[in-house]
């Protein structure tokens, strides 16, 4: 008893189970968690360590190297990249793609970093490990307040944050852009020297008075009393009234008489943020992964509206980014494409098979879709760009099984077979070939699940959805379609059917004639196919390359770079000037709103967006623009205009991108121990890139050199004057940068008290020479110029390393080609630059070029095993080596049409196109399987071998044609809409299938006749 017969006998049970799954599928569509892009595990942590004022080279040698040596001992680490800038070491630790449980690895990282602390120089602040680098802000809110101070805004932002945590599903809420309060004590160096008060004494007096300390407890026997001394500062007046001892006297002087006391905000500003040019606090909201953003985000928006209504007049909560809009757009867009594809498939099968048969075959599509959604919900697969678009791709594949079953049933009825026998025989004959063809297609997608690469993780849901849809399609085609066919399909002898038969008869006659010709000239035909394959391989070099395409999100990213050494105040001023320009330029009225971040890149509002490390000379702007615009041209115009209007900046204006990295940016690395050699070679690479037309945003990550003022202390003169290097360092740091000497507590807010020089003195470089240094030994002061000399030293502003080697990375993008095409253009010149490199120095590609190679390697790593399994499957199915090899030899035919499709539709070759080629090979193989299986059936029925080939080819012509046409037209919505992610893949499958099917219908019969030495009997 076969599966079809069993399902027919227990059809009530089958239909009941089907109805349950269909109803659950409808509910699943509306309740399943949805997101814009697939979830990618961010296997990266950041280790930050600071030592204020230390030069980049000393940070590299004394801090970064020590930490790297410990971190490198963690076996799961893939790469370590580090940057050593003035006073700051930043290390990015990336883990191998095969690891998913990262908690234990991050704990190991913390342990190693903790072990390294003892080897760091005294004065180094404790290292901070950030392993939440990958949290995505699904909602970003900009709080602005007209007429309110930043401190008031921050208190209100904390109130908003506390309320957002009450919304079920909230994971984390960060407040960005806050300017912390400070109390400044501005001293005059000359006055302190005149009074003989040292900075250290001033600091000690304030610290010893401003305490929060218990005086203990007095137990009197029956009662106890807590004793608490006063002394901590409760107001600015108390700080001002503090009495400071004058050295070598019994006199005191009020603090307000020797310093200027003021309350303000951190100076220079630290990472301020702006919304539409106004100072703002950004509230970045991350969601727990198991929640549905289409349900969570509206609840957040409702909570924000409620909070805004209760705020004082002047406060506004503005939505800066709202990922739910993009998710809803993606889900609804793909859903519309599914309905369009469904309509196309129904029309095609009705035209080929008539209304009754067409509706029966068409019914399998919504059945499979809803069953698939039910299984996706049970297995935890989310609705996102990949899984939804895979449903479209699978529509043309899953209908194949239904077409073959229904068409076979109808043909048997027309040949006079009894209805029940027609159903049972069809199910018995076709169950194994259809299962084999479905499993073959699934196996070709298997490398996605096995690929140990982030690109494979990004596309993994494709293989899972294909697995579910094709197996569901096979099962329903054998259990439901035959039952429906039994009750509703009739042998059609109407005039319309006669006309359709006549049309197919003419096609069959032409095809039969062609088969006779091809079988008579087998060698010539196969040589022609081989030459065509060689020609297609040659044409591949003219196909542009792009790892992943750009996104269609209506957002533009602008990175602003100023020369390293630029103060944060100047960066802030330049950014405000850009905001004013954006607001006052009428041609930019397509900008709906924008967010600006000074000194940092803001929150990660898209998973694929990798924020740059904070730096005082950088800014970042996100423009939300009107949909439907030519973003490519807009980005080019903005890039040119920004650098024209603001000559002191370097602007990088880009669209959003899909996939794990930006496919338009090329990255070339120069590695080696000698920093002068690698920096010089990087300049040569930049010069080379400047010569390539349409190449812009050329930069290297060591940036420009900066001047350091080295105070060369003459130790002999210093000893004579009674001052030490420590005295000098403390004096300079307190005078120019400011030193935190104590803390002022205002309710639950702690405000640092900073001692520094006044504005007129600390911004004047000449004051360095005349700075008075207080001698702790003698109690006298001495001008710095008497004990030290001054020298300007040109040094690297930042030192980058990768895997323990100093590494300069040069980046650029070309407006007319992707990074991989640009690589092919400059490859020979890059190789020539390697010739004069010293030993242990190298030049190599990184970024998207390296990632593309690694992704293709990871994808193809399991292909030999997959092909071996497929080959075993074929051999087991047919119990024949020759038939298995016939099927395998049809695989290259898919390349011919694929290349034609890429060139005709101007689609780039990338990771998604590679997946298209795999699926295309699976479909082409399916055609070969059902064709060879039919030849065997004909021969088993006693038909001569030659005539069996002809009969089988004619019998399978109509179902193969129908499945090809439905698959091709089912992809039409993706091609017509030019879906950014699936356009190239859809073109490859559609064109490759069309050409490949035509060739398969000729190649399989010819190879079969050749392998089995079948000749035409005259």
Per-residue pLDDT of 393-418, as tens digits, reads 777 677 778 888 887 888 888 788 88
The domain boundary residue, chosen from 636, 656, 676: 656
Question: CA separation (Å) from 295 to 142, 162, 169, 322?
Answer: 21, 20, 10, 13
Residue 588: the pLDDT is: 87
Residue 214 has pLDDT above 80, yes or no: no
Q: Are 87 and 59 in contact (CB under 8 A)?
A: yes
Give the confidence band of 503 by pLDDT, cuts at 50, 70, 90. low
Query: Is 276 inside any structural domain?
Result: no
| Closest to 906 in 3D by CA, of 987, 969, 815 | 987
Residues 1012, 898: one domain?
yes
Q: What is the mean pLDDT of residues 786-813?
A: 92
**Tokens 């006391």 identify what position?**
261
Residue 81 pairs with which residues in a beta bridge?
A: 92, 802
pLDDT tens digits, 115-166 = 999 999 988 999 999 988 778 899 999 999 988 999 999 999 999 999 999 9
Three-state DSSP class for residue 978: coil
Query: Is 816 inside any structural domain?
Result: yes
**Tokens 């490519």 identify what position?**
632
Burial 40-59 (b: 16+ CB within 10 A, else e): bebbbbebbbbbeebbbebb
Q: Which two tokens stand for residue 193?
A: 């020297």
Q: What is the mean pLDDT of residues 230-250?
A: 79
CA separation for the pair 930, 935 (Å, rounded): 9
Q: Are 362 and 350 in contact (CB under 8 A)?
A: yes
Q: Are 981 and 384 in contact (CB under 8 A)?
A: no
Task: Give the lowest-confidence range in 201-215, 293-307, 600-614.
Answer: 201-215
Q: Please, how many CA atoms are within 13 Å of residue 1006, restricted to the half-sphere of its CB?
A: 23
Residues 483, 540: one domain?
no
What is the edge-to-edge ordering of all strands in the sheet holding 739-746?
A: 259-265, 181-187, 749-757, 739-746
Above pLDDT 70, what percent of the chain?
98
Query: Is 159 inside any structural domain?
Result: no
Residues 906, 1002: one domain?
yes
Residue 315 has pLDDT above 60, yes or no: yes
Give the confidence band of 1017 by pLDDT, cuts at 50, 70, 90. low
Sort 1 into a burial class: Cβ within 10 Å, 0-12 / 13-18 / 19+. Answer: exposed
Name the phi and psi angles at 804, rounded to 5: 75, -5
What secondary structure does DSSP assign to 837-865, as a single string?
Answer: PPTT-EEEEEEHHHHHHHHHHHHHHTHHH
Residue 347: the pLDDT is: 82
Residues 877, 974: one domain?
yes
Question: CA separation (Å) from 802 to 81, 91, 418, 522, 805?
Answer: 4, 10, 74, 58, 5
Question: CA separation (Å) from 398 to 257, 366, 368, 471, 475?
Answer: 87, 11, 8, 9, 11
CATH number of residue 410's parent domain: 1.20.1640.10
Query: Is 970 inside any structural domain?
Result: yes
Residue 493: the pLDDT is: 55
pLDDT tens digits, 745-780 = 877 788 888 988 888 788 888 888 888 888 777 777
Question: CA separation (Å) from 563 to 415, 781, 849, 989?
Answer: 83, 38, 28, 48
Q: Considering all CA atoms of the chain, what is the largest pairwise distance in Å, rounded to the nearest integer?
A: 131
First to last CA, the chain: 42
Query: Is 904 inside any structural domain?
Result: yes
Three-state DSSP class for residue 50: strand
Residue 90: the pLDDT is: 94
Sort 707 into a burial class: Cβ within 10 Å, 0-12 / 13-18 / 19+. Answer: exposed
Name the phi and psi angles at 848, rounded to 5: -65, -30
| Closest to 529 in 3D by CA, of 897, 32, 206 | 897
Residues 532, 419: one domain?
no
Q: Are 385 and 40 in contact (CB under 8 A)?
A: no
CA separation for the pair 597, 575 (Å, rounded): 9
Total Cβ atoms within 10 A of residue 683: 14
Residue 494: the pLDDT is: 54
| Closest to 925 in 3D by CA, of 448, 397, 393 | 397
Three-state DSSP class for residue 3: helix
Question: For the CA atoms of the chain, what is the radius of gyration?
Answer: 36
What secondary structure does DSSP assign to 869-903, as a single string?
Answer: HHHHHHHHHHT-HHHHHHHHHTTTHHHHHHHHHHH
| Closest to 606 in 3D by CA, of 541, 667, 669, 655 | 655
Reduced DSSP (H G I as helix, E B as strand, rest coil) percent helix, strand, coil of the chain, to 5: 55, 20, 25
Q: Among the ranges 282-286, 411-415, 628-632, which has the highest mean pLDDT value?
A: 282-286
Residues 26, 52: one domain?
no
CATH number of residue 99's parent domain: 3.30.70.1430
Q: Are 262 and 183 in contact (CB under 8 A)?
A: yes
Residue 740: the pLDDT is: 85
The pTM assigned to this predicted structure is: 0.84
Residues 865, 996: one domain?
yes
What angle in degrees, to the nearest 10, is found between the helix axes of 419-450 and 481-488?
Answer: 150
Q: Which two tokens stand for residue 562?
A: 């100023």
Residues 695, 805: one domain?
yes
Question: CA separation (Å) from 1000 to 404, 949, 961, 994, 995?
Answer: 17, 13, 11, 10, 9
| Closest to 995 in 3D by CA, of 883, 915, 903, 932 | 903
Residues 524, 640: one domain?
no
Residues 6+ apart with CB under 8 A from 3: 427, 431, 478, 479
Residues 617, 766: one domain?
no
Query: Is 764 inside any structural domain?
Result: yes
What secondary structure does DSSP assign to 183-247, as a single string?
Answer: EEEEE-HHHHHHHT--HHHHHHHHHHHS------EEE-SS-EEE-----S--SHHHHHT-EEEPT
Residue 296: the pLDDT is: 92
Residues 598, 718: one domain?
no
Residue 685: the pLDDT is: 94
The boundaries of the domain holding residue 667 are 662-704+797-846
CA separation for the pair 699, 717 (Å, rounded): 45
pLDDT tens digits, 419-455 = 889 899 888 888 888 888 888 888 888 887 777 777 7
**Tokens 């209760």 identify what position?**
310
pLDDT tens digits, 956-994 = 888 788 778 888 887 888 888 787 778 888 899 889 988
Query: Is 345 inside any structural domain?
Result: no
Residue 199 pairs with which residues in a beta bridge?
A: none
**Tokens 């209805």 identify what position?**
419
Residues 6+ apart with CB under 8 A from 437: 400, 922, 925, 926, 929, 930
Query: Is 338 inside any structural domain?
Result: no
Q: What is the mean pLDDT of the chain?
A: 86
Residue 668: the pLDDT is: 94
Give the confidence band of 617 by pLDDT, cuts at 50, 70, 90. very high
Residue 348: the pLDDT is: 79
Domain count, the chain: 6
What angle in degrees, to the nearest 10, is found between the helix axes of 385-414 and 419-450?
Answer: 160
Residues 384, 435: one domain?
yes
pLDDT tens digits, 343-377 = 877 787 788 777 888 888 878 888 888 899 999 98
To the nearest 10°, the Cα dihedral for 171, 176, 178, 180? 70
Q: What is the mean pLDDT of residues 653-665?
A: 82
Total Cβ atoms within 10 A of residue 585: 12
Residue 212: the pLDDT is: 67
């Amino acid at each position: 008893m076969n599966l079809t017969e069993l399902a027919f006998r227990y059809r009530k049970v089958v239909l009941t189970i089907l109805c349950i799954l269909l109803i659950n599928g409808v509910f699943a569509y509306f309740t399943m968690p949805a997101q814009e892009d697939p979830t990618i595990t961010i296997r990266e942590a950041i280790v930050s360590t600071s030592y204020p004022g230390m030069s980049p080279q000393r940070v590299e040698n004394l801090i970064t190297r020590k930490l790297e040596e410990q971190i490198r001992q963690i076996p799961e680490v893939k790469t370590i990249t580090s940057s050593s800038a003035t006073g700051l070491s930043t290390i990015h630790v990336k883990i191998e793609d095969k690891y998913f449980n990262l908690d234990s690895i991050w704990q190991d990282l913390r342990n190693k970093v903790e072990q390294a602390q003892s080897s760091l120089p005294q004065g180094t602040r404790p290292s901070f490990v950030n392993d939440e680098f990958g949290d995505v802000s699904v909602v970003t809110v900009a709080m602005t307040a007209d007429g309110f101070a930043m401190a008031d805004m921050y208190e209100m932002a904390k109130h908003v944050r506390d309320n957002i945590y009450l919304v079920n599903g909230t994971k984390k809420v960060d407040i960005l852009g806050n300017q912390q309060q400070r109390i400044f004590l501005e001293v005059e160096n000359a006055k302190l020297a005149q009074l003989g008060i040292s900075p250290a004494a001033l600091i000690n007096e304030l610290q010893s008075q401003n305490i929060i300390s218990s005086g203990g407890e007095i137990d009197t026997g029956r009662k106890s009393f807590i004793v608490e001394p006063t002394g901590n500062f409760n107001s600015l007046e108390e700080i001002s009234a503090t009495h400071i001892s004058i050295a070598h006297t019994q006199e005191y002087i009020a603090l307000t008489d020797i310093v200027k006391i003021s309350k303000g905000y951190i100076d220079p500003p630290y990472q301020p943020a702006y919304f539409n040019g106004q100072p703002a606090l950004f509230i970045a909201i991350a969601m727990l992964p198991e929640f549905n953003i289409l349900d969570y985000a509206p609840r957040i928006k409702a909570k924000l509206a409620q909070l805004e209504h209760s705020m004082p007049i002047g406060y506004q909560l503005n939505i800066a980014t709202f990922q739910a809009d993009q998710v809803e757009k993606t889900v609804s867009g793909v859903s519309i494409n599914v309905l369009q594809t469904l309509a196309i498939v129904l029309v095609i099968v009705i035209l080929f098979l008539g209304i009754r048969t067409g509706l029966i075959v068409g019914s399998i599509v919504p059945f499979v879709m809803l069953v698939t959604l039910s299984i996706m919900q049970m297995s935890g697969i989310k609705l996102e760009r990949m899984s939804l678009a895979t449903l479209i791709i699978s529509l043309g594949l899953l209908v194949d099984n239904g077409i073959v079953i229904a068409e076979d049933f109808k043909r048997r009825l027309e040949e006079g077979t009894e209805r029940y026998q027609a159903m049972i025989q069809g199910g018995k004959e076709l169950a194994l070939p259809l299962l084999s063809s479905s499993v073959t297609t699934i196996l070709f997608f298997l490398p996605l699940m096995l690929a140990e690469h982030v690109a494979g993780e990004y596309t993994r849901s494709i293989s899972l959805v294909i697995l579910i849809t094709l197996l569901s399609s096979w099962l329903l085609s054998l259990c439901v379609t035959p039952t429906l066919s039994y009750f509703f399909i009739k042998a059609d002898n109407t005039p319309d059917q006669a006309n359709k038969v006549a049309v197919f008869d003419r096609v069959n006659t032409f095809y039969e004639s062609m088969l006779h010709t091809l079988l008579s000239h087998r060698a010539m035909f196969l040589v022609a196919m081989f030459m065509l394959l060689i020609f297609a391989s040659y044409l591949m070099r003219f196909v542009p390359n792009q790892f992943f395409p750009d996104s269609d999100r209506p957002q533009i990213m602008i990175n602003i770079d100023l020369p390293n050494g630029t103060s944060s105040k100047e960066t802030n001023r330049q950014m405000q000037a850009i905001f004013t320009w954006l607001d006052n330029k009428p041609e930019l009225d397509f900008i709906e709103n924008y967010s600006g971040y000074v000194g940092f890149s803001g929150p990660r509002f898209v998973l694929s967006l990798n924020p740059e490390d904070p730096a005082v000379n950088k800014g970042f702007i996100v423009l939300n623009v009107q949909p439907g615009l030519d973003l490519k041209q807009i980005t080019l115009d903005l890039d040119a205009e920004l650098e024209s209007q603001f000559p002191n900046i370097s602007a990088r204006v880009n669209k959003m991108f899909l996939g794990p990295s930006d496919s338009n940016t090329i990255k070339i690395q120069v590695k080696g121990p000698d920093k002068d050699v690698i920096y010089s070679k990087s300049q040569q690479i930049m010069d080379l890139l400047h010569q390539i037309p349409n190449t812009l945003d050329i930069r290297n990550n060591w940036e420009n050199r900066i001047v350091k003022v080295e105070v060369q202390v003459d130790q002999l003169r210093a000893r004579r004057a009674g001052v030490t290097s420590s005295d000098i360092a403390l004096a300079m740091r307190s005078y120019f940068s400011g030193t935190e000497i104590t803390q002022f507590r205002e309710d639950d807010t702690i405000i640092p008290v900073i001692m520094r020089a006044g504005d007129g003195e600390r911004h004047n470089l000449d004051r360095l020479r005349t700075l008075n240094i207080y001698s702790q030994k003698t109690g006298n002061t001495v001008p710095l110029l008497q004990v030290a000399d001054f020298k300007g030293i040109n040094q690297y502003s930042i030192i980058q390393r990768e895997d323990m080697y100093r590494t300069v990375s040069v980046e650029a993008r070309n407006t007319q080609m992707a990074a991989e095409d640009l690589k092919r253009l400059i490859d020979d010149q890059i190789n020539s630059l390697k010739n004069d490199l010293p030993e242990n120095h190298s030049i190599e590609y990184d970024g998207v070029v390296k990632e593309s190679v690694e992704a293709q390697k990871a994808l193809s790593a399991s292909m030999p095993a997959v092909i071996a399994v497929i080959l075993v499957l074929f051999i087991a199915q047919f119990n024949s080596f020759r038939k298995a090899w016939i099927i395998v030899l049809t695989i290259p035919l898919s390349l011919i049409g694929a290349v034609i499709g890429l060139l005709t539709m101007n689609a780039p070759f990338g990771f998604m196109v590679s997946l298209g080629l795999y699926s295309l090979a699976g479909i082409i193989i399916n055609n070969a399987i059902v064709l060879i299986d039919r030849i065997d059936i004909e021969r088993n029925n006693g038909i001569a071998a030659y005539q069996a080939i002809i009969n089988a080819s004619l019998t399978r012509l109509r179902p193969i044609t129908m499945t090809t046409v439905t698959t091709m037209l089912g992809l039409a919505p993706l091609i017509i809409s030019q879906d950014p992610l699936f356009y190239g893949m859809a073109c490859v499958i559609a064109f490759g299938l069309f050409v490949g099917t035509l060739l398969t219908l000729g190649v399989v019969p010819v190879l079969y006749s050749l392998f089995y030495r079948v000749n035409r009997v005259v």
